[in-house]
């Protein structure tokens, strides 16, 4: 995979994102999660939500795979933002995000990431 071949120096350090009518530079370490939303990808930090036009697949190739896990075809989460794993009444795994009300669904394809937790 390309992500594994990228040298750490070439990994994405900043996300250039739209916040309202401004363009902001968001440090990748501040991002809690990314969620695909039609033509855009939502970038969520503890303080704000922003939008970028880069698809999840491209982001995944540019981010550190030890720091960002894909948990659904539309979702990447910063491993440092994982508060815990919850099972809902239908048995689906949901990731609780530190400091946020969202619970992010883990698809069956990615459930193996949490087997040891």
Phi and psi torsions of 6, nearest 5° = -65, 135
pLDDT tens column, 96-106: 999 999 999 99
- How far apart, in whole angstroms, are the C-alpha atoms of residue 109 and residue 117? 16
Pick from 19, 54, 20: which is nearest to 36 by CA? 54
pLDDT digits 0-9 by tens, 30-65: 999 999 998 999 999 999 999 999 999 999 999 999
Domain interval for residue 15: 2-114
Domain count, the chain: 1
* Domain harbouring 68, CATH code: 2.40.50.1020
CA distances, 19 to each of 35, 48, 78 (Å):
15, 8, 20
Q: What pTM value is reported for the model?
A: 0.88
CA distances from 42 to 19, 38, 89 (A): 10, 10, 27
List all residues 6 or more positions away from 82 whose beta carbon is below 8 Å from its beta carbon: 95, 96, 97, 98
């Amino acid at each position: 995979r390309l992500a594994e071949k990228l040298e750490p120096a070439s990994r994405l350090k900043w996300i250039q994102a739209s916040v309202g009518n401004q363009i902001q530079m968001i440090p990748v370490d501040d991002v809690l999660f990314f969620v695909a939303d039609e033509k855009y990808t939502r970038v969520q930090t503890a303080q704000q939500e922003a939008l970028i036009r880069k698809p999840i697949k491209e982001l995944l190739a540019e981010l550190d795979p030890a720091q960002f896990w894909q948990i659904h075809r539309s979702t990447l989460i910063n491993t440092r933002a994982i508060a815990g794993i919850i099972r809902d009444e239908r048995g689906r795994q949901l990731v609780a995000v530190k400091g946020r009300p969202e619970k992010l669904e883990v698809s069956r394809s990615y459930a193996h990431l949490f087997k040891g937790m």
